[in-house]
């Protein structure tokens, strides 16, 4: 019998300038061992990391980005548009509108985002809407 080869983790980035929202997303992703989590408080740092990975190592690119709208001096719709411009043709990227403000998530979608996931936190410090989204992602993955 040939042993099963473990599948690589699905990289998920959270671009959000709130450490509270970062920790909620990270705690939620931790429930799903098929995902790896990287958090970026600074949107410019995330753009630089994405550009570097697009040039040097496609394997390091995220498959999912949780995108907040209000990111200090930068807005999530502008970051979304930049990531789409940098995205290699062969990469798969789902950008999630992940703002506390519905209009912000809608602007992320208009700039090239794919889906909106409600940003909230339950009593255990996790986001049940994000958890459902991640479960849906896994159910769509090939066996």
**Arithmetic mean of pLDDT, 119-125:** 95
Output the CA–CA distances (angstroms, integers) from residue 73 to 39, 44, 53, 127, 139, in the order listed: 18, 10, 24, 26, 37
* pLDDT for 2: 64
Residue 7 has pLDDT above 80, yes or no: no
Q: Does residue 115 sit in helix, strand or coil?
A: strand
Joined together, the tokens standing for residue 39 give 């958090």
Q: With bands split at pLDDT 50, 70 and 90, how would you rate the model's confidence at 70?
A: very high
Please answer whether residues 83 and 116 qualify as being in contact, where contact means their C-beta atoms are separated by less than 8 angstroms.
Answer: no
Q: Per CATH, which fold does 16-127 belong to?
A: Rossmann fold (3.40.50)
The better pLDDT of the pair 57, 47 is held by 47
- pLDDT of residue 97 exceeding 90, the answer is yes
pTM beyond cutoff 0.75: yes
Residue 3: per-residue pLDDT: 61
> Tokens 């600074």, residue?
42
R_g of the chain, CA atoms, integer Å: 15
């Amino acid at each position: 019998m040939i042993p099963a080869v473990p599948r690589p983790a699905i990289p998920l980035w959270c671009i959000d300038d709130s450490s509270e929202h970062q920790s909620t997303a990270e705690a939620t992703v931790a429930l799903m061992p098929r995902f790896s989590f990287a958090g970026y408080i600074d949107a410019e740092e995330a753009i630089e990391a994405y550009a570097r990975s697009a040039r040097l190592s496609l394997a390091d690119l995220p498959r999912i980005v949780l995108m907040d709208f209000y990111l200090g001096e930068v807005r999530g719709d502008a970051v979304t548009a930049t990531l789409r411009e940098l995205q290699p043709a062969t990469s798969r990227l789902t950008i999630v509108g992940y703002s506390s403000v519905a209009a912000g998530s809608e602007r992320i979608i208009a700039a090239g985002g794919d889906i909106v996931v409600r940003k909230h936190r339950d009593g255990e410090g996790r986001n049940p809407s994000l958890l459902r989204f991640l479960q849906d992602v896994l159910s769509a993955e090939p066996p």
